[in-house]
Amino acid sequence: MAESRGRQSGFDLFGVAQAGPLPDAPHLRDQIASGRHGRMQFLARTIDVRCDPRVGFPWAKSVICVARRVHSKEAASFNGIACYANAVDYHCTLGEMLSKYVGDMKKEFPRAGRARAFVDSGPVTEKAWARQAGLGFIGKNTLLIAPELGSRIHLGTILLEASIPPDAPGAGTCGDCRRCLDACPTGALTEAGRLDARLCIAYLTVERRGDIPEADRPKIGACVFGCDACQDACPHNRRGPVPADAEPETIDRLIDLSEADFDRLFGDTPVQRATWKGLRLNAITAAGNVGGNSCASSLQKCLDDPDPAIRERARWAIEGLTLRRHRGRLCDRLLILNSCTDK
């Protein structure tokens, strides 16, 4: 019943688990106790309901879990923006699909009872429930990996009052593969299945809204919003949806972005979460890390920006750019010197 309707509703994956204490609860509590959640106080504040949804929704007996593949926007993708964010905001698209599913289900089955749907921002541990509901297994990159689709999927959850026979939990492991751990540019995956969020580029470029401590700035490299390194390296994503290859726009275009342009280009995407100022600060930081001469004039303009944070970050980035330029010249001279002495 529920599954066939799930498929009709356009979800790529669908499964059901019985509401109760999550087997992973000790890891969740350990993550918070160790501070690895950084500034994400929303995780700490709601830890009890994240460990057992009945704490916040005592009527919940079933947890319906769905997944939908990431669909990238065809046009206007920016280098340094993660594949899921170069798309219409999944909080809206998947959210609308879940509300419609709940509405149709209640019409067809009045005894379904109370239901609450969540996508990402609700106090529900979506990956762990998706595993419990049979959608896949938790990879060493801590993401839910689905057999046919890999991890480039978005998860949604419905807490339901009616008791639906649960599916078997997802099986599967990463075996000896450790490509994601080796690919993570900052070592945020401290061990298999354990992430120190404070080191994760997605945390630094999304959750901190541009306020990146000086010591962490080099860590983001050329990323300006989110990071796909641990997914790009994953062999399970070879089969899944491939990010759209669109004409990359350069970092300096992001630095020069007006607020109106920001709303026009990113208004309906997850990038909104970083805010206009946050995205510009991330882009200036990326220019400081990897930017070339094409960024110089944009950074110069930022020295007169009315916002002191933008001015300070631009000064930091120009130092980085200048240092790389000098290093470049030094190398050139050394190369010439070497070639002279060889003759």
User: Which residues bind to ligand B12, rule: CB under 6 A?
Assistant: 24, 27-28, 31, 40, 43, 82, 84, 119-120, 122, 124-128, 138, 141-144, 151, 153-155, 193-195, 197, 200, 202-203, 206-207, 226-228, 230-231
The label of the residue with tokens 């080099």 reads 218
Least distance in angstroms from the C-beta of 148 to ligand B12 = 13
Least distance in angstroms from the C-beta of 334 to ligand B12 = 38
Q: Pick the catalytic residue: 120, 232, 256, 305?
A: 120
Q: Round to whole Å and give the CA distance between 142 and 32.
A: 15
Nearer to ligand B12, 41 or 322 (CB): 41
- Which residue is nearest to ligand B12, using beta carbons? 226
The question of whether 120 is a catalytic residue gets the answer yes
Burial class from Cβ neighbours inside 10 Å (0-12, 13-18, 19+) for residue 75 reads: exposed
Least distance in angstroms from the C-beta of 33 to ligand B12 = 11
DSSP 8-class letter at 205: I
Least distance in angstroms from the C-beta of 54 to ligand B12 = 17
DSSP 8-class letter at 1: -
Nearer to ligand B12, 236 or 299 (CB): 236
Nearer to ligand B12, 112 or 119 (CB): 119
Greatest extent of the chain over all pairs of C-alpha atoms, in Å? 89
CB 318 within 8 A of CB 285: no
Query: Which contiguous run of DSSP H or E holds residue 102?
Result: helix 90-108
* Best CA proximity match to 184, nearest among 143, 144, 233, 236: 233
CA angle (210, 216, 220) in 5-degree steps: 70
Residue 134 Cα distances to 7, 63, 114, angstroms:
15, 12, 23
Least distance in angstroms from the C-beta of 128 to ligand B12 = 3
Nearer to ligand B12, 167 or 256 (CB): 167
Burial class from Cβ neighbours inside 10 Å (0-12, 13-18, 19+) for residue 135 reads: buried
Q: Round to whole Å and give the CA distance between 153 and 8.
A: 18
Nearer to ligand B12, 105 or 128 (CB): 128
Q: List, by residue number, the catalytic residues.
A: 120
